[in-house]
Amino acid sequence: MLKMKDDDKILLAHGGGGKLTRDLIQKVMLKYFGNPILSPLKDSAVFELKGQHLAFTTDSYVVKPLFFPGGDIGKLAVAGTINDLAVVGAKPLYLSCGLIIEEGLELGLLQKVLESMQETARNAGVQIVTGDTKVVEKKGADQLFINTTGIGIIAPDHSLDESGPQIGDKILINGGLGEHEASIISSREGFDFESEIISDCAPLHDLIQSILRVSRKVKWMRDPTRGGLAATLNELVEGKSFGIRLQETQIPVKDAVKGICELLGFDPLYMANEGKVVVIVAVEDAERVLEIMKSHPLGGDSCIIGEIVSEPMGRVVMKTEIGGHRIVDMPLGEMLPRIC
Amino acid sequence: MLKMKDDDKILLAHGGGGKLTRDLIQKVMLKYFGNPILSPLKDSAVFELKGQHLAFTTDSYVVKPLFFPGGDIGKLAVAGTINDLAVVGAKPLYLSCGLIIEEGLELGLLQKVLESMQETARNAGVQIVTGDTKVVEKKGADQLFINTTGIGIIAPDHSLDESGPQIGDKILINGGLGEHEASIISSREGFDFESEIISDCAPLHDLIQSILRVSRKVKWMRDPTRGGLAATLNELVEGKSFGIRLQETQIPVKDAVKGICELLGFDPLYMANEGKVVVIVAVEDAERVLEIMKSHPLGGDSCIIGEIVSEPMGRVVMKTEIGGHRIVDMPLGEMLPRIC
């Protein structure tokens, strides 16, 4: 890790999901806030309250443009927080909505965002129960930021296997990489591709609950957002006594996403997703979980993309299409434009 | 209420706590998000989960300057959300922390804010258990915004009397008005007063719990932040079959706050507080509650400042020092500079 000094400046990359984000969280946030509930750094805090296991998570959404193919900041804010609850095995129940609005925003635009939030929440069986609105001066914010914080409840018979990943466990994903980030970049840059790239932004709780219903051997789940699959898997293996081997030929990437990657020199492994979940499951349950994922509307392109291996410890490697091996490292800084 | 059209722009006053804020919430937010838990528009949502009554509240903090006499954005963010939980009778338990940072912020400054958050939380017996950090481009935000969202639990034997205010009930406050806003304004403008004005920013859960321990007839509590005492009381009486009469001679205002008000033409009734709670209690319990408030470190200047009256219905009036009556209306727009 790099040293951090008081007169260092916060960089965009500190929010990018890579090494600098990890350093900021581990060396600064944990230094002040560290406690037994926060420190595991799961997607949601999990705690017991009067015999119930609750999950609690927060996320601020600062995406631009506010509207993009396949979604908008409102849908993203509701789906993203639902997903952070879902990956710890919780059924999402209640959300808060904190708006920070730049003076001068059109009311009609705000209403479209709120409508989208409500529709996404209603479809997911979740209620937005408390809110707050702040307005700041022109150029004091970028149009609209949304914080959503969520509460969910973990049913004992739908929880994860807390023993953690073991050598031989399989790694699954419910579809193609990079669709959210590619959609944002192409709508921001005004690219005119033949086929528009649609963000995968979607609430995953129903898919995830159906996985937990068919297997009690799900070891780990996470939605690979900022920093993509590469950052998510590197966070998992860092400092652990196991590694991950991916099979490049098995990793689904849509042609339209490949196209934008070739054009701009991006790597889908590092691109943000908003409707994907990485699932690690014991080998004996892998086919059953794959089957249930494939039968779900949000999992038609599900694949087994790799496995937990003993070597190299603490690293992610990928067997490439041409048969070699490539190390998939944690992203360092700004490999890609800021999109969240 | 004013009509709102799609091409209307959001103004600073929509976040000011007055009539425009109320219109935005009632005509826009409730239109999309309205549900039985949200719609009462309490400071916290209150719902039942497996037999427990939980409180859940969110607030974003966009104050500038980040540091001011008596506090900083971090202390404010923790205390403010604790207070929103406390006024519905909840014991605050867990907080989330969502940071939106402008690229270029000094790490040392961020650390001071986090340290202050942690110190305030620890002193209040509350844990920060989940967080999120986003970094946006220079001029994409104003240094640092913090969202805190909190969960609390309501003990059945410490709850409010839900029958609501009755004619004759007394209105109490735990000290002088306007100290937070006066502190922000004077530090922002660089005024050089003889005595520095200290923000009243403080977590009120302990004071509030001690009130609820001595009276089962507390009808209503709220912390008068944006829009001050005037907005808070007007929100209560609007559309109700009772009114409020205040006694100007009984309303505590420190000399230093009076000084800045005279200089700048402000009215303490409309100025934001961050360590005050307005308590409405049945007349027979008023003296007992006043006594316990006065004995608390955050309530030495507590007073009975008015009462619930039958006329004028739906209005707040104040008997002035010189013996006349003045209507205390809801603030309309930007009477004061934006401070939160």
pLDDT given at position A17: 86
- A320 pLDDT band, cuts 50/70/90, is very high
Cα–Cα dist A245/A166, whole Å:
13
Domain boundary among B158, B193, B224: B158
CB-nearest to A10 from B58, B62, B135 is B135
pLDDT score for A37: 95
Within-domain flag for A13: no
pLDDT at residue B334, rounded to an integer? 64
Smallest Cα distance from B46 to chain A, Å: 9
B239 alpha carbon, distance to own chain's centre: 21
**Residue % of chain B over a pLDDT of 90:** 86
> Do residues B264 and B232 share a domain?
yes
CB B207, CB B291: distance < 8 Å: no
- Mean predicted lDDT score pLDDT of chain A: 94
- How far CA A128 is from CA of A112, A325, B83, in Å, comes to 16, 47, 21
Nearest to B136 among A8, A142, A149 (CB): A142
Q: What is the mean pLDDT of residues B127-150?
A: 96
For residues A66 and A199, membership in a common domain is answered with: no
B41: closest chain A residue by CA: A130
Q: Is residue A63 assigned to a domain?
A: yes
Query: What is the Cα gyration radius of chain B?
Result: 19
Kind plus residue range of the DSSP H or E element containing B279? strand B278-281
Per the CB < 8 Å rule, is A33 touching B97? yes
pLDDT at A157: 82
Q: What is the per-residue pLDDT across A329-340, written as a single tens digit (0 to 9) for each?
A: 998 766 667 776
Largest CA distance in chain B: 57
Beta strand pairing call for B90-102 and B278-281: unpaired
Measured in angstroms, the CA of A282 and the nearest CA of chain B are apart by: 29
Cβ contact (<8 Å) for B37 and A97? no
Q: Which is nearest to B212 in space by CA: B275, B160, B277?
A: B160
pTM of the predicted protein model: 0.95
Q: Where are the extended beta strands (E) located within A168-315?
A: 170-173, 218-222, 243-247, 278-281, 303-309
Enumerate the residues of chain B whose CB falls inside 8 A of the CB of residue A145: 100, 141, 145
Instruction: Find, among A208, A176, A223, the residue nearest to A292 by Cα.
Output: A208
Asked whether residue A272 is domain-assigned, the answer is yes
Distance (Å) from the alpha carbon of A236 to chain B's nearest alpha carbon:
18
CB B326 within 8 A of CB B251: no
Question: Which of B47, B107, B131 is facing A6, going by the closest CB pair?
Answer: B107
DSSP codes joined into one string, A38-106:
TTT--SSEEEEETTEEEEEEEEEE--SSSEETTEEHHHHHHHHHHHHHHTTTEEEEEEEEEEEEETT-B
* B129:A28 CB<8 A: no
Same domain, B239 and B313: yes
User: How many angstroms away from the CA of B222 is the closest CA of chain A?
Assistant: 15
| Cα A57–chain centre separation | 13
Looking at the complex, report in whole angstroms how far the Cα of residue B7 sits from the nearest Cα belonging to chain A: 6
The share of chain A scoring above pLDDT 70, in percent, equals 96
Is B94 found in the same domain as B184?
Answer: no
Q: Tell me: do A154 and A178 sit in the same domain.
A: no
Would you state the pLDDT for residue B157? 82
Tell me the three state secondary structure of residue B177: coil
Nearest CA distance, B309 vs chain A (angstrom): 31
Contact state of B127 with A29 under an 8 Å Cβ cutoff: no
Residue of A58, A104, A133 with shortest CB distance to B98 = A58
Domain boundary among A99, A131, A158: A158
Same domain, A143 and A249: no
**d(Cα A171, Cα A280) in Å, to the nearest integer?**
5
Same domain, residue pair A130 and A206: no
Q: Do B133 and A6 touch (CB under 8 A)?
A: no
- Most A CBs within 10 A among B25, B53, B58, B113, hence the mutation to make, goes to B58
Residue-wise DSSP of B134-175? EEE-TTSBSSEEEEEEEEEEE-GGG---TT---TT-EEEESS
pLDDT, tens digit, for every residue of B280-320? Answer: 999 999 999 999 999 999 999 999 999 999 999 999 999 99
pLDDT of B36 > 80? The answer is yes
In the predicted structure, residue A143 carries a pLDDT above the cut 90: yes
Task: Give the whole-angstrom CA distance, residue B340 versus residue B331.
Answer: 15
| Enclosing domain of residue B145 | 42-158
Cα–Cα distance for residue pair B179/B227, rounded to 1 Å: 13
- pLDDT, average across residues B44-68: 95
So what's the pLDDT on residue B340? 65
Show residues of chain B in contact with A25, CB under 8 Å: 133
Which residue among B28, B45, B141 sits closest to A114, beta carbon to beta carbon?
B28
How far apart are the C-alpha atoms of A64 and A66, rounded to whole Å?
A: 5
The pLDDT assigned to B333 comes to: 67
- Is B21 within the bounds of a domain? no
Question: Is A154 found in the same domain as A195?
Answer: no
Same domain (yes/no): B111, B242: no
**What does the pLDDT read at residue B335?**
60
Which residue has tokens 């609950």? Answer: A209
Give the distance from residue B161's alpha carbon to the nearest chain A alpha carbon, in angstroms. 22
Contact flag A37-B127 (C-beta cutoff 8 Å): yes
Helix, strand, coil distribution of chain A in percent, nearest 5: 35, 25, 40
Out of B136, B158, B180, a domain closes at B158
CATH number at residue B247: 3.90.650.10
Dig out the tokens for B49 from the structure: 């989960």
Are both A111 and A199 inside the same structural domain? no
- The contacts of residue A76 (CB under 8 Å, 6+ apart) are A61, A63, A201, A274
CB contact under 8 Å between B135 and A45, yes or no, is: no
The CATH number for B56's domain is: 3.30.1330.10
Subunit contact A107:B28, Cβ cutoff 8 A: yes
Cβ of A255: how many Cβ atoms within 10 Å? Answer: 8
* CB contacts, 8 Å: A29 with chain B: 114, 131, 133
Which two three-digit tokens encode residue A304?
A: 């087994």
Classify residue B226: in a domain, yes or no: yes
Mean pLDDT of chain B: 94
Q: Which residue of B has its CA nearest to A129?
A: B38
Could you tell me if B141 and B191 lie in one domain?
no
CA A14 to chain centre: 17
Residue A142 lies in a domain: yes
Residues of B within 8 A of A37 (CB-CB) are 94, 127, 129-130
B243-247/B316-319 β-pairing: parallel
Query: Side chain identity at A186, as an amino acid letter?
Result: S
Q: Is residue B337 part of a domain?
A: no
pLDDT confidence of B156, banded at 50, 70, 90? confident
- Are A284 and A168 in contact by the 8 Å Cβ rule? The answer is no
Q: What is the DSSP string of B247-274?
A: EGGGS---HHHHHHHHHHT--GGGS--S
When divided into structural domains, chain B yields a total of 2
Residue A44 tokens, joined: 């949601």
Find the CB nearest A104 among B9, B35, B37. Answer: B9
Q: Which of B45, B107, B128 sits opposite A8 (nearest CB)?
A: B107
Say which of A21, A52, A131 has its CB closest to residue B33.
Answer: A131
Rounded distance, CA B139 to CA B141, Å? 5
pLDDT at A79 over 90: yes
A232 within some domain: yes
Q: Do B247 and B115 share a structural domain?
A: no
CB contact (8 A) between residue B60 and residue A140: no
Residue A7 pLDDT class (50, 70, 90 cuts): confident
Judged against a pLDDT cut of 80, whether residue B191 lies above it is answered with: no
CA distance A293 to chain B (A): 29
